């Protein structure tokens, strides 16, 4: 088939997908094991406390095993970083303030094997301690080890976590897109690689704290967060933050096979980054796309696979909604505004 005709057909397919007229093949409904669901709901808190204790102690053991012991400085010895990490994870689970978290520490200290009681001020300053953050980062690695080799496809999506109850990210994004729809399209020379403006929406000037913006990678089978990039700066976009989240995912799962994302990631340089790491990208491109790769490895292959088998391609692509679901579930589960400065807000969100 002539390349021009193939390109025309591809653009028609993408247009039908975007305007909702594409005819999908039906899928079999997924069944739910309600017995296992009930068991998980009943044992959730007890299991979470056990997981906090075991994961933090394993992370602390690994870090100490590869770190030479240092000399203790003058003054009172600091609170054990492992104990502080346990308290922070308990605080995140309960969505509690620092003072309330000290009360939870009194209640669950023995269950978590915390050696001594400490004040809410120690909890408040917990994310400012590098040894604590090393433990929390190591926990992310340990958790992903449990599905290493089993989880091969990862979905990426950007969102914003409010630092004020006056802010709602979904509402801001909807208003931003509505304003863009009323404006004329920018000239091709002003857009890099034919890419739309991917900057995050500005926060309300009344709520000065704004958002902590995030791009998260999520495994589509086990729904574990594999990587996250966070910034309080709305002027940067999702594509700018994608490489960090993708890099963390790649560190945890070096043999990943598939990378999914919505149209905002459908640009040549991101496709090149993914395919260059031996993974198959599934990003829905714009309706005026062409097969010209302009040196981006994998761009032509991605478009050709969409043109050749739209049903199969979209069956894989639409699993990207799992990352959107995880974003929504995190916000529902941890609905209070993030506390602390921009850096600490990001760290708290990552632990959630």
* DSSP per-residue string spanning 11-76: HHHHHHHHTT---PPP-PPPP--HHHHHHHHHHHHHHHHHHHHHHHHHHHHHHHHHSPPPPP-SSS
3-state secondary structure 66-127: HCCCCCCCCCCCCCCHHHHHHHHHHHHHHCCCHHHHHHHHHHHCCCCCCCCCCCHHHHHCHH
Nearest to 194 by CA among 272, 285, 275: 285
- Greater confidence (70 vs 263) lies with 263
How far, in Å, are 26, 62, 127, 338, 342 from residue 142 at the CA level?
Answer: 38, 10, 20, 25, 26
Instruction: Summarize the confidence of residues 313-341 as an average pLDDT.
Output: 80
pLDDT in tens, 175-198: 777 766 666 555 444 444 545 567
Write down the mean pLDDT value for the chain: 85
CA-CA distance, 96 to 90, in Å (whole number)? 9
> Residue 336: what pLDDT?
60
**Secondary element (H or E) of residue 349:** helix 342-351
Tell me what pLDDT residue 76 has.
Answer: 78
Is residue 346's pLDDT more than 50? no
CB 218 within 8 A of CB 249: no
Prediction pTM value: 0.78
What per-residue confidence (pLDDT) applies to 188?
Answer: 44
Model pLDDT for residues 6-43, shown as the tens digit of each residue: 999 999 999 999 999 999 988 888 889 999 999 999 99
Q: What's the DSSP call for residue 346?
A: H
- Please write the tens of the pLDDT for every residue from 216-266: 999 999 999 999 998 888 788 899 999 999 999 999 999 999 999 999 999
Q: Evaluate if residue 75 carries a pLDDT over 60.
A: yes
> How many other C-beta atoms can be found within 10 angstroms of the C-beta atom of residue 265?
28
| Helix, strand or coil, per DSSP, at residue 236 | coil
Q: Please provide residue 259's backbone torsions phi and psi, each rounded to the nearest 5 degrees.
A: -130, 125
Entry field: residues in the chain: 352
Question: Is the pLDDT assigned to residue 78 strictly greater than 90?
Answer: no
Q: What percent of the chain lies above the pLDDT cut of 70? A: 83
pLDDT of 213 reads: 86
Domains of the chain by residue range: 3-31+149-351, 34-145
What are residue 216's phi and psi, to 5 degrees?
-120, 145
What is the Cα–Cα distance from 213 to 97, expressed in whole angstroms?
A: 22
Residue 72 confidence (pLDDT) above 50: yes
């Amino acid at each position: 088939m002539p390349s021009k005709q193939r390109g025309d057909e591809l653009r028609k397919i993408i247009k039908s997908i975007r305007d909702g007229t594409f005819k999908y093949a039906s899928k079999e409904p997924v069944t739910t094991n309600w017995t296992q669901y009930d068991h998980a709901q009943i044992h959730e808190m007890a299991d979470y406390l056990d997981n906090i204790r075991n994961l933090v102690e394993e992370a602390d053991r690994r870090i100490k095993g590869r770190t030479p012991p240092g000399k203790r400085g003058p003054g009172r010895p600091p609170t054990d970083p492992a104990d502080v990490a346990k308290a922070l994870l308990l605080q995140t689970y309960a969505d509690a303030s620092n003072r309330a978290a000290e009360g939870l520490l009194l209640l669950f200290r023995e269950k978590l094997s915390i050696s001594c009681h400490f004040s809410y001020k120690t909890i408040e300053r917990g994310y400012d301690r590098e040894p604590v953050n090393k433990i929390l980062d190591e926990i992310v690695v340990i958790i992903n080890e449990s599905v290493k080799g089993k989880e091969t496809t990862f979905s990426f999506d950007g969102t914003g976590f409010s630092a004020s109850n006056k802010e709602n990210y979904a509402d801001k994004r909807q208003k931003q897109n509505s304003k863009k729809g009323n404006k004329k399209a920018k000239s091709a020379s002003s857009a890099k690689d034919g890419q739309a403006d991917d900057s995050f929406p500005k926060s309300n000037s009344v709520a000065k704290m704004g958002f902590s913006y995030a791009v998260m990678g999520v495994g589509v089978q086990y729904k574990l967060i594999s990587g996250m990039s966070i910034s309080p700066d709305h002027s940067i976009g999702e594509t700018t933050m994608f490489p960090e989240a993708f890099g963390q995912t790649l560190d945890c799962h070096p043999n990943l096979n598939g990378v999914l994302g919505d149209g905002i990631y459908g640009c040549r340089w991101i496709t090149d980054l993914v395919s260059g790491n031996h993974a198959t990208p599934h990003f829905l491109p714009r309706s005026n796309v062409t097969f010209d790769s302009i040196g981006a490895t994998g761009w032509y292959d991605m478009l050709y696979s969409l043109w050749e088998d739209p049903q199969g391609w979209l069956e894989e692509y639409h699993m990207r909604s799992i990352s959107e679901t995880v974003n929504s579930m995190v916000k529902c589960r941890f609905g209070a505004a993030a506390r602390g400065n921009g850096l600490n807000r990001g760290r708290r969100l990552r632990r959630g």
